[in-house]
């Protein structure tokens, strides 16, 4: 979703086509021909396929037209990186709690 939001915020709806993948029923071609990691999101650009949503947000910001998503000021940029890293860690912990079958109250806290 964050890569999709980055694409939309930059107004790239006509330049980056979204192909929805049903994770419960992944098509074989996705792993075989597009992204061997078989995860979403992935972006094909200039005959190369890249993954990792946070990297894609930065890649889209740097390699496509549209309003800048990150500030120019280096201190603000560093703070933005910290926020992104924090939200990434938070998301990972949160989803690991959702998938866990045991008591996750400590981890969730
Ligand atoms: N760190 C990766 C995580 C990618 C990821 O785990 N995507 C999930 C959907 S949100 C996925 O494709 N899951 C399928 C699987 O793990 O097999 C990113 O941020 O892009």
Instruction: Give the CATH number, domain containing residue 60.
Output: 3.40.30.10
> 26 alpha carbon to ligand 1 midpoint, in Å?
13
Residues 55 and 18 in one domain: yes
Alpha-carbon distance 22 to 19, whole Å? Answer: 10
Percent of the chain with pLDDT strictly greater than 90: 78
Whether 82 and 102 map to the same domain: the answer is: yes
* Ligand 1 center–CA 73 separation, angstroms: 31
Pocket around ligand 1 at a 6 A CB cut-off: 23, 39-41, 51-53
Q: Which ligand 1 atom minimizes the distance to the CA of 56? A: 20
- 102 and 75 housed in the same domain: yes
- State pLDDT tens for residues 66-96: 999 999 999 999 999 999 999 888 888 888 8
Residue 51 alpha carbon, nearest atom of ligand 1: 20
36 and 88 share one domain: no
CB–CB of 56/39 below 8 Å? no
Number of compact structural domains in the chain: 2
Pair 105, 84 in one domain: yes
DSSP state of 100: -
d(CA 16, CA 21): 15
60: Cβ–Cβ under 8 A, 6 or more apart, which residues? 3, 6, 7, 10, 12, 16, 43, 69
The predicted structure's pLDDT at residue 80: 93
Structural domain of 9? 1-69
For residues 57 and 10, membership in a common domain is answered with yes
Q: Whose CA is nearest to atom 11 of ligand 1?
A: 39
What does the pLDDT look like over 3-25, one tens digit per residue?
999 999 999 999 999 999 999 99
């Amino acid at each position: 979703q964050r890569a999709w939001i980055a694409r939309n915020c930059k107004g790239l709806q006509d330049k980056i086509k979204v192909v929805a993948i049903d994770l419960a029923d992944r098509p074989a071609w996705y792993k075989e021909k597009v992204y061997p990691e078989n995860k979403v999101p992935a972006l094909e650009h200039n005959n190369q396929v890249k993954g990792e949503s946070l990297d894609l947000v930065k890649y889209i910001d740097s390699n496509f037209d549209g309003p800048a998503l990150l500030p120019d000021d280096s201190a603000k940029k560093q703070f933005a990186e910290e926020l992104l890293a924090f939200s990434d860690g938070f998301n990972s912990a949160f989803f690991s709690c959702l998938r866990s079958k045991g008591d996750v109250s400590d981890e969730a806290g």
